[in-house]
Structure 1
């Protein structure tokens, strides 16, 4: 019998939470031969990532994963051998009670948010004592050997390399999205939360000597883009040219196609956690829009990652990169920061490739989860 795993996902950040858990569930099934149920409270968000799914189904199978709707009233279910509560979501009371009744209590893991902060290494893998006696542990994704690693399917980097090296592969993918950039244009993807600095950045791109083609999948940043363009609505396929900048609105694509989009671009602006990690695997310069927290608590996480990521960069390039990320996340002039980044472009490209290789040398998140489970037996 295959080991059974339950993953619970409460959708908070639109597509970040479900994005991570859906990738994880698929990998556990495909690469580790596990029986995985993914419990999701918002199937509409899931369908955006997996278009063939049924938003009205209480139970369905997609790519080997059993997808279950997690309703407000718990329907009852036999607990799995491993139970993952993603991002500190609260498991149903009825499910926890059923866990207590098992002859062998399940291994209960709290899969936490990704962070480069120093304290994460000390907390990763620690037990979280439960008054009811169940075994629960903290599991932190991360960027160092003392954390849980990053999501990375075995085929991810070979597929990325194949798209970039196979003749016409990149052009064929982009053509399927209706994208035909002018020769020599820098291709930029933009997936972000609302940001008042967008217009300032776009002004700099439009005034630049080098042409840019900005690809914007449907999402929350479209309101700010429409303000800059003077358009109330921006349907899929919208194409505008202003100065050296071409702006194009893309559909919200599946996870696999979003990966291909990142691989096809020269620079990727991403947000949250899921697209942030996928941009790192793309091995290209990037810009992170971190999820906003009260009292600007997210700034500490931003600075912690910058401190780690910029290691190996020259002081000038590291300063320029940090200035750009801070401008985007702290409402500072983006145009000035973007212009100051340009002299360091080639160094940042090489650094992104080196970072990708260094992270790929470490075990991935799914593998480390499975190892943690086996060590607990």
Structure 2
């Protein structure tokens, strides 16, 4: 049944939160035929991954989603039947007041961050009565295991990935102005935080026995690379040659194009949550740069995922994965042998990732889980 949804999103680290909310809003609209209003406080960052969004317009419809600029002074609107408070953002007081006046209590969902810690499945779906008013919201946790809300996965995503042949890849690379593959070349996409050991990794790749193409979206990381290689401020699509390494800077891509970039690379270095999940659907080996948190909370999340992801790996391969991920996130110092050891398991990792995807496909996707949950309560 068609329902009205309001999704509220504050942009924290430029792309992660809005990336997930935008995918979710599109999927609810396109796959589940829901009516979705997406409230976003930073339309400029949003437009980097959704170029059809005009940051100068306060209200617009893009791909069937009603996009609203969430401003400090919140204009009173009729609330939706389903309300999603994404990633610990707080609903405007004026909007909460309208929820109290609704004829029927809406389904109010607190969409949480992704984690594989053991307690997640225990808290998923639990009610949380509001401390001051007679409204209840529900904790909803995305996740990798049964008993959680699942991951974002569009209805046709796996079929599109399977159809991404060499011919389709060639056309995509040509269309996006990316270098065509050379014989024996290794292609690596790099999207990370400034805390990753970029300088050392660039040096390691430049000394590779095989040619490597490193594809990097323009941002603060490209500034670090420019400084390291004593290059002027880098522009998009500029090429830099450093030993065996070629670096190509690219502008930020629309999300479906970014998915295809991940599909076309042999290794994907990703960060946060959105690109982390998309790299898993890509099958290729991936390395996650987790968002650093105070008091080392992020290490628990990283270890919990690695425990699950490497559970069925041979011990040597699991050890290689853990060592590289630890180094990439600053637990130890990265060096050439850590990278080469990980690299040596490339083919085995591809096969493991295919089995990993099959395991994830046993779950309902996040949008379907949310739609079913809301319908059961309306």
**TM (normalized to structure 2)?**
0.96
- Structure 1 Cα separation of the partners of residues 195 and 232 of structure 2: 17
Report what 1:375 is aligned to. 376
Deviations 1:177-220 (A, max 9, x none): 32223222011100111135112112221112122111111233
Equivalent residue runs for 1:212-361 within 5 Å: 212-330=212-330, 332-335=332-335, 336-361=337-362
Consecutive unaligned residues in structure 1, runs of 5 or more: none
Query: Is the deviation greater in 236-245 or in 275-284?
Result: 236-245
SS at match of 2:60: strand
Query: Is the deviation greater in 116-125 or in 52-61?
Result: 52-61
CA RMSD of aligned residues (A): 1.3
| Pairs aligned (count) | 375
Report what 1:191 is aligned to. 191
Structure 1 residue runs of 4 or more that deviate by more than 6 Å after TM superposition: none
SS at match of 1:2: coil
Deviation at 1:311, TM superposition (A): 1.3
Equivalent residue runs for 1:39-58 within 5 Å: 39-58=39-58
Report what 2:72 is aligned to. 72
CA contact (8 A) 1:3 1:35 kept: yes
- Structure 1 Cα separation of the partners of residues 205 and 61 of structure 2: 44
Deviation at 1:224, TM superposition (A): 2.1
Deviation at 1:108, TM superposition (A): 0.3
Does structure 1 residue 171 correspond to structure 2 residue 170?
A: yes
Deviation at 1:230, TM superposition (A): 1.6
Does structure 1 residue 154 correspond to structure 2 residue 155?
A: yes
SS at match of 1:248: strand
Deviation at 1:118, TM superposition (A): 0.6
CA contact (8 A) 2:80 2:106 kept: yes
CA contact (8 A) 1:191 1:219 kept: no
- Structure 2 Cα separation of the partners of residues 223 and 241 of structure 1: 16
**TM (normalized to structure 1)?**
0.97
Query: Is the deviation greater in 283-292 or in 212-221?
Result: 212-221
- Structure 2 Cα separation of the partners of residues 275 and 138 of structure 1: 23
SS at match of 1:128: strand
CA contact (8 A) 2:7 2:84 kept: yes
Query: Is the deviation greater in 304-313 or in 176-185?
Result: 176-185
Report what 2:114 is aligned to. 114
- Structure 2 Cα separation of the partners of residues 116 and 354 of structure 1: 18
Report what 2:105 is aligned to. 105
- Structure 1 Cα separation of the partners of residues 235 and 283 of structure 2: 30
CA contact (8 A) 2:218 2:251 kept: yes
Equivalent residue runs for 1:199-214 within 5 Å: 199-214=199-214
Deviations 1:127-149 (A, max 9, x none): 01113111200000000011000
CA contact (8 A) 2:196 2:330 kept: no
- Structure 1 Cα separation of the partners of residues 158 and 196 of structure 2: 34
Does structure 1 residue 140 correspond to structure 2 residue 141?
A: yes
- Structure 1 Cα separation of the partners of residues 333 and 354 of structure 2: 28
CA contact (8 A) 1:83 1:108 kept: yes
Consecutive unaligned residues in structure 2, runs of 5 or more: none
CA contact (8 A) 2:197 2:330 kept: no
